[in-house]
Amino acid sequence: MDMMEPAPAKVNLHLHVTGRRSDGYHELDSLAVFAGASDQLLYRPAAELILEIQGPEAAALFTERDNLVLRAGRLLADAAGVPGRGALVLKKALPVASGIGGGSADAAAALRLLDRAWGLGWMASAEGRARMMALAARLGADVPVCLAGRPALMQGIGETLLPAPDLPPGGMVLANPRQPLATPAVFRAREPGFSAPAELPTGWHDMPSMAATLATLHNDLEPAAVALCPAVANVLVALRALPGCLLARMSGSGATCFALFADGQEAARAALQLPAAWWRWGGGFTAGGGSHYSPLASRAGA
């Protein structure tokens, strides 16, 4: 019997670039949430660590020499001092290089799944979770939030996770014009200058009030992404024209954009009105997936 772990898409509701470190990485302030759109990772025992990739978005990874799932598995095996064996199947449903952290979600799912499969039990103790978080940060800036697997305010370069405001129920549409965008290129194309961190309330009771707050914020990578991939602007226009759309914005480094709706069923219906040539998804928020936990520090004033 296979073991399974979901790898849900991460969506940046706002993304302010607040500074730049001497090593070139950018400091961020970003409210990250998770959509129901998800990859899946399966495990069964095997003599060595191998990965098979299936699913509608698998082809983009067939030439990938160093899949993040295998990197995560090797890193965990080394850190835990175990042989690190298993046959993994990645069912890839999220578009690759699209600003919704698909690779990061897969790496985080691999850490959670192999922790269970290899009987390590790291995720069951605070000390083990801290060690796992450190491994996640070595795999990529988005991997810690994906390991946490629940809404969080990301700061630092992504390794500092603070509690998210209480989120209202609601719906989301995701749309991608099927053009990959490389994260480093988008950061490089950014106009110079920095934004202040967002000032967020402790929560929102309904989606219109959350959208009203978010409308005062922005994604600092959006202009650079539009310059590199003009189709992003078309996606934003199409999302804003959907009935019931409360706010539309790009996620992460793009090109995927999201739109917020009052409820999940309305979002699911709206997604079907977008061009079928795009990757599109509509539904509700999720608290994450699988064995998520909350390694979140406390937010000043929260």
Ligand X SMILES: Nc1ncnc2c1ncn2[C@@H]1O[C@H](COP(=O)(O)OP(=O)(O)OP(=O)(O)O)[C@@H](O)[C@H]1O
Ligand Y SMILES: C[C@](O)(CO)[C@H](O)COP(=O)(O)OP(=O)(O)OC[C@H]1O[C@@H](n2ccc(N)nc2=O)[C@H](O)[C@@H]1O
92 counts as catalytic? no
Quick one: which segment of 94-102, 113-121, 202-210, 219-227 binds ligand X (CB under 6 A)?
Answer: 94-102
> If you ran DSSP here, which 8-state letter would residue 99 be given?
S
Contact between 184 and ligand Y by CB under 6 A: the answer reads yes
Q: Which does 187 bind (CB under 5 to 8 A by kind): ligand X, ligand Y, none?
A: ligand Y
CA distance 238 to 294: 36
Local structure of 5: helix, strand or coil: strand
Q: Which residues of 194-221 are buried (b: 16+ CB within 10 A; e: fewer)?
A: ebeebebeeebeebeebbebbeebbbbb
The entry of ligand X, ligand Y, none near residue 97 (CB within 5 to 8 angstroms by kind) is ligand X
Q: Is 104 annotated as a binding residue?
A: yes
Q: Which two tokens stand for residue 238?
A: 């199409």
Task: With beta carbons less than 8 A apart as the criterion, state whether 289 and 8 touch.
Answer: yes
Cβ neighbours of residue 134 under 8 Å, at least 6 residues apart? none
Q: Site for ligand X (CB under 6 A): how many residues?
A: 19
Strand partners, 158: none
Is 99 annotated to bind a ligand? Reply is yes
7 labeled part of a ligand binding site = no
Cβ-based nearer residue to ligand Y, 12 or 286: 12
CA 225 vs CA 32, 123, 142, 198, 230: distances in Å: 19, 36, 18, 21, 8
Confirm or deny that 35 is annotated as ligand binding: no
Contact between 137 and ligand Y (CB under 6 A)? no
Work out whether 96 is an interface residue with ligand X (CB under 6 A). Answer: yes
> Is residue 142 among the annotated active site residues?
yes
Annotated binding site: 95-105
Binding site for ligand X (CB under 6 A): 61, 64, 67-69, 96-104, 106, 142, 183, 252-253
Catalytic residue positions, numbered: 10, 142
Binding site for ligand Y (CB under 6 A): 12, 15, 25-26, 28, 30, 101, 104, 140-142, 157-158, 183-184, 187, 252-253
